[in-house]
Amino acid sequence: MITVALFKADEAEAEAERATGMTLNRWSQAQRSGRREALTSGRLPLLAASSEDVAPDLDDLFEYGLARHLDGFEV
């Protein structure tokens, strides 16, 4: 089941890259100024209080979450 989910995620990411001509990392970088503006506007104080580096890399975040799930299954 995880293999199917990973395949679908890769497929969706590849389709989005073909449609936009922009990789996920490049899109994230392009959105950075908008996020910074939203966080410094004062409209989102709780979100602004969190670190910008909470999820710097979605692949790392996914791998971390997957490892925690697998740890739980192992127990």
The domain ranges of the chain are 2-74
Distance CA 49, CA 45 (A): 6
| pTM, 2 dp | 0.45
pLDDT higher than threshold 90 for residue 62: no
Greater pLDDT, 68 or 9:
68
Kind plus residue range of the DSSP H or E element containing 1: none
Distance CA 9, CA 3 (A): 10
Distance CA 28, CA 6 (A): 20
Per-residue pLDDT tens for 2-33? 677 777 888 888 898 899 899 888 888 888 88
Provide mean pLDDT across the span 67-71: 90
Report the mean per-residue pLDDT for the chain. 83
